[in-house]
Every structure is written in C-alpha cells, then in structure tokens.
Amino acid sequence: MRKPETIEKLYLDFDGFFASVMQQAFPDLRGRPVGVIPFETSAANSTVVIACSKEAKAAGCKNVMRVPEARALCPDIVLVTQRPDLFRRAHNALLNEIACEIPIETVKSIDELACKLDKLTIAAPSALAKRIKDRIRHNVGEYITCSIGFAANRLLAKIACKVDKPNGVTIWNPADMPGPLLALPLEDIPGVGKRIEERLSRAKILTIADLWHSQPKHLRALWGNVNGERMWYALHGYDIQATPTSRGMFGHGRVLPPEWRDPEHSLACSRLLLTKAARRMRRDGFYAGRLWLWLDIRGSTWFGQRQLHCVQDDHACLAALAALWEKARAEIPKRAEIIRVGVTLLDLSPANARQLDLLENDDGARQKCELITNTVDLLNRKFGKRVVTLGAWTQPPGGYAGGKIAFNRIPSAEDFW
C-alpha cells in the first residue's frame, strides 16, 4: 500500500451552501441570519431549519434545528423557503468555475468535491486555492465562499478543510502529521457517528490520539467491517482508494405541511413521489423488485413492503402502492396525523440484466403498460414537465416534491417537473 510523501488531494466544502446561495440570489438577505425551511407554511413553528447562514451559526443555530429553538437563539433569524432548482443551478455554475482551474475527480455531494493534484498544483497549493476562490467571487458571487483542505489522501483533506471554516485554506503536509490531526476532537472524523463513538468509548478509545495509536485489525473489529481498517490506514496517510459502489435504491420522502397530514393527502403525495422515483429509475436504466412505503405518524411509525416482478412502469408501481395503502389504512388509527411520507424502490436490476419471475410471463398487457409509460416519458421530455400523467398529479403546498434540498444527491432538471 502506497504512502504519499507529499500532498496529493484537494477537498472543497462550500460554506453554508444553501443559505449562502439564497443570500447571493436575494440581496435583502445579505448580512442577515438566514434559516432555510423545507416549505412555506403559516405554521412555521412546526417545521425545522434545514440549513442556516454563517450569521445564524454565529448566534448558535445549526442545521436541522426546530424553528422555535432557532428563534430562541437568534430572534432576528429570517426564514426562507428552500429553492432546490436554484441550488442545483448554483452547484453546476460553481463546478464549471472550479473545473477551469483543476479537473474535478469526484463530486461527493451538492456542496463538497475532491480533486487530484498534479505536479504544478502540488508545488503551489495556496495559489491554486486563491485562484479558485477569486474565480468564484468574480464569476458567481462574493456571498458564496468555500473552505479548502490539502493533504496526502481524500479523508485527511476532508478533515483539513473543516479546520478553518468559513472561507479558509488548510494544508497538511505529510511531514507535519499527525500533529494537526491529534489536536481535533474525535467527532471531527468523518465516519465516526454516534454509534461508532459509543463502541470506541467502550474500547477506551476517547481521542484521535487513541484512534491513531490503535491497530487496524482492532478498528476493523470495532466497526464490524473493513471500513474500520481502511479508516486506520487513511488517518496514517496511506493512499486509500474509495471502494466502488452500486445503486441500491430510488426513493423520495416528504415532510407534510400541517394541512396535509391526513391519509388522503398523504396518499396523493406518495403517488407523486413514487412517480418521480420511478422516472429517475427508468432514466438510469433499472428495474425494481420491491416497493417500500413508510409513514412517520405522530407518536409512532408504520412501514410496509410489497414484492414487484422486476418492473419499471408506472402502472405496476402505483398498483403496488395502492395495495400498501389499503394495508396501511387498516392498521393505522383513523385520525392518525402523518408527519412524513416516503417511498422507496429496491432490489434493483440493470435493464441489461433483467431477471423475470419464472411464473410471471412478460405478456402483452405488461408490455403494453411499459410502452405507455415510455411514451409518456418521451412526451414529457419533449413538451416539458408533466403534460401527461397517470392519474391525478396533486402537488403538496410548497412544491418541490421529489426535488427537495439535497445533501447527498444532485437533482437533475427533470426532478422538478
């Protein structure tokens, strides 16, 4: 396993991305504490701040905080409704500017990316960081800033870029390690969540220094998989390549506004979410073998699943959803307050490796449903948005169902149709 002798990776993290994009787009928000909420509602206290600006963070607010708590910490906070399509367009514009200075190796999320350095950029990382920041400021806007970390591998560069936020640059040369790393709290290590931290605590690993001086096989045992061992080698500066991943599901969830928290409106929202998830699945060339419906109910939860015979058409997906809702209505209280609804298509098969059930023939009726669905997709792509839908298309208040604020997924333009 190779251990680089110099910095080789850049990791970039935009500062308060969603709130800063809103400040750049709307001058009235600049310099003010801003909290982004998922949908516009008259009962704002029933929702959460899903992202906040650096001014709000300075007052003690943080992402995913209930609105009453945020207002208690920062009475002047300005609540604005999310604009996912604006975030998507800002993301693409920012990537274009960065790519003019250095090729982007991996887009990790809507607000984080990694790059591989070449000989010229290894020699002058501070100059590269300045060029990137200047380009963003001049060509996109001065209210969108980023923090950049340089290190021997991606994990160390990611940790480094968080050290001097916002708008900082941190360079961790291998010769200086592990000193800067050991000064940080354990929770600053990506991949050390609450559950892993509890396991480490039971093993008397309470600091990054304890983690550093442990053994790779010991961490593998504590994690319960190879990721613990990979973590050890990455923290010690080895060139650890990311393991390839494959698509496991397509799904959408939605927090419902107070006036939509009954079974009828929840059903309508779930139909819309499932239709959008199935469209994404078809665009990416997959078939599904299972459908989940999950409901967050005041004081409890409910979920059900139904097997599918390797399908991708709307008719089959919506028929399975209707069967799940029939079961849900029989099992949940009649006046249940449904806070959140979600659908997930699982057990995916690539279109070129489709496996049909031996007893489920690919008959004419099924082929007809797939042909109709594909034709509807073509019409919607040609004429825009939802010129044709299968059944009612009822948008919940606030819009953006199926195209919500995305931390780990970059929405496409079609997600907002």
- Tell me: the pLDDT tens digits for 116-151? 999 999 999 999 999 999 999 999 999 999 999 999
Residues 201 and 299 in one domain: no
Instruction: Check which CATH number belongs to the domain holding 396 and give it.
Output: 3.30.1490.100
Residues 318 and 285 in one domain: yes
pLDDT of residue 80: 92
Residues 46 and 120 in one domain: yes
Is the pLDDT score of 257 beyond 90? no
Q: Which active-site residues does the annotation give?
A: 112
Last residue of a domain, one of 125, 144, 176: 176
Tokens of 415: 């997600």
End-to-end CA distance of the chain: 47
- Structural domain contains residue 245: no
Residues 271 and 394 in one domain: yes
Residues 308 and 195 in one domain: no
Tokens of 19: 């709130």
Task: Dump the DSSP string for 276-345.
Answer: HHHHHHHHTTEEEEEEEEEEEETTEEEEEEEEEEEE-SHHHHHHHHHHHHHHHHHHS-TT--EEEEEEEE
Q: Are strands 146-151 and 286-297 parallel, antiparallel or unpaired?
A: unpaired
pLDDT (tens digit, 9 = 90+) per residue, 326-370? 999 999 988 889 999 999 999 999 987 766 655 555 566 777 888
Residues 6 and 119 in one domain: yes
The count of domains in the chain is 3
pLDDT of residue 1: 80
> Quick count: other Cβ atoms within 10 Å of Cβ 81?
15
- Structural domain contains residue 241: no
Residues 211 and 300 in one domain: no
Last residue of a domain, one of 150, 176, 202: 176
Residue 133 backbone phi and psi in degrees, to 5: -65, -40
Domain residues for 384? Answer: 250-416
Residues 294 and 148 in one domain: no
pLDDT (tens digit, 9 = 90+) per residue, 54-108? 999 999 999 889 999 999 999 999 999 888 889 989 999 999 999 999 999 999 9
Residues 135 and 18 in one domain: yes
Residue 35: closest CA among 13, 60, 10: 60
pLDDT (tens digit, 9 = 90+) per residue, 346-358? 999 998 776 665 5
pLDDT (tens digit, 9 = 90+) per residue, 144-177? 999 999 999 999 999 999 999 899 999 999 999 9
Last residue of a domain, one of 148, 176, 204: 176
Confidence of residue 411 (pLDDT cuts 50, 70, 90): low
Residues 214 and 74 in one domain: no
pLDDT of residue 358: 58
Residues 255 and 226 in one domain: no
Is the pLDDT score of 404 beyond 70? no
- Structural domain contains residue 72: yes
Residues 97 and 146 in one domain: yes
pLDDT of residue 7: 97
